[in-house]
Each structure stands twice: as C-alpha cells, then as structure tokens.
Chains A and B, each alone.
Chain A
Amino acid sequence: QKEVEQNSGPLSVPEGAIASLNCTYSDRGSQSFFWYRQYSGKSPELIMSIYSNGDKEDGRFTAQLNKASQYVSLLIRDSQPSDSATYLCAVSSAAGNKLTFGGGTRVLVKP
C-alpha cells in the first residue's frame, strides 16, 4: 500500500471552474499536510499547509483535512490556464521526522 496516494490524472477542467484534488494517506498519526505545485520542467513550490481538521482558505485555494478519514483535498476556485501543473500532496510521519510525497495529480485548465 502506498503511503500517500493521489490520482495521477490528468484532471481536465474548464477555465473558471473548480478543480478538486484528493489525497489519502496511510499513517494515522500524521499531523502536518502540505500541497505543492510543480510546473513542467520546474521544481515544486509550496502553496498550502494545513494542520487541523477542517478547511483552510488562501486566495483561490482551499485545503480540506479530515484526519479520521485520512483524507486531505485541495480545491482551486476560478481555475485559470496558469493553474495547469502537477499538484503534489505531502504528509509528515507520525514521528515528525519524514515528509512523504504522493505521485501528484496533473491538472489541465482549458480556456
């Protein structure tokens, strides 16, 4: 079983729509969760972090965490072509000494 699982996509959304990305993790004791965006040919960049159950909003991005279901999601509102990228979910270990990445979900926003 993979430690952090994401649908590889591509997730195709029309411009202006909401893109919904999901991530599940296996380590029930994990406490810290992160979303990174990686454009083709570039390195990952942090876009959201979330530590408590519930929603966290930052601009057009909303991260949602449900520790009981071991599930974290990312919503991108009013999707723009510039949001086309691979989105990586990252989860800390329960011991707090390791960050594990999922395989990423490729998002394509079509004008």
Chain B
Amino acid sequence: ETGVTQTPRHLVMGMTNKKSLKCEQHLGHNAMYWYKQSAKKPLELMFVYNFKEQTENNSVPSRFSPECPNSSHLFLHLHTLQPEDSALYLCASSQGRSGRARGGELFFGEGSRLTVL
C-alpha cells in the first residue's frame, strides 16, 4: 500500500442510513484532512486533524462526524444525510499543519463518491 487510500470508492445511501468513510495514509504524515468537492464549487475544507487532535472544524453540520484514532487513520461517520450532501469526499495528509509551508503540500486519496438518495 502506498500514499493515501480511501474506502469505499463509491457509496449510495438513503437519508436514514448510517455509514462511514475510511482513510489511511502510509506516508508518515502527522496531519490529515477531509475535503468536500461538489460540482462547480471549490474544494471545501471540512475537518483538520494534527497529531490526531482536531484543529479545524469548518462549520460542518453535525450529521458529519469525524474520528481520528491515530495519525494514520481518519474516518468520517455519516448519518441522516441530505441529497445535497452528495459529493466527492477527499481525504488528504501532509507533513505539518495545513497553511504552513509543507502543510500546504497535501497528498490526496482517490476520494469516496457519495450519493444520497
């Protein structure tokens, strides 16, 4: 395994379902991120974890719940989502905090394409 891996790659869920997205990085980085990418909108930062501590929550609705058990793993728990939450969810990692020099050098996973019915 190399880089940043995300599972599942595709997910279809109903509004009452509970599901989780998983991300694992094999780069030895200390910061991990969740981004949301919707059609015709810029990448939106959702959460930042630095040394498994949450350092940024970008006003994300509580139906999205992140979990970072260690510096290599990151989860996004989903429950009672809305159709407008359908998007590509990207996990990324970096050596250093986002915004600082090397912290802006993000390595992205391939993403989890979420469809909410």
A interface list, Cβ under 8 A from B:
4, 31-34, 36, 42-46, 49, 51, 88, 90, 92-93, 95-104
Contacts and interface: CB of A to CB of B under 8 A. Distances in A.
A103 B101 contact: no
B55 to A, nearest CB: 7
B43 to A, nearest CB: 4
A99 B103 contact: yes
Nearest to B94: A99
A97 B56 contact: yes
A43 B108 contact: yes
Given A96-B103, A97-B98, 19 more contacts: A4-B42, A31-B101, A32-B104, A34-B104, A42-B110, A43-B90, A43-B109, A43-B110, A49-B104, A90-B104, A92-B98, A92-B99, A92-B100, A95-B99, A96-B97, A96-B99, A99-B99, A100-B45, A103-B41
Nearest to B111: A43
B78 interface: no
Contacts of A99: 45, 98-99, 103-104, 106
B42 A104 contact: yes
Contact of A97 (B43, B97, B108): B97
Contacts of B43: 44, 88, 101
A32 B101 contact: yes
Given A43-B90, A99-B45, A101-B43, A51 B56 contact: no
B104 A102 contact: no
A34 B96 CA distance: 15
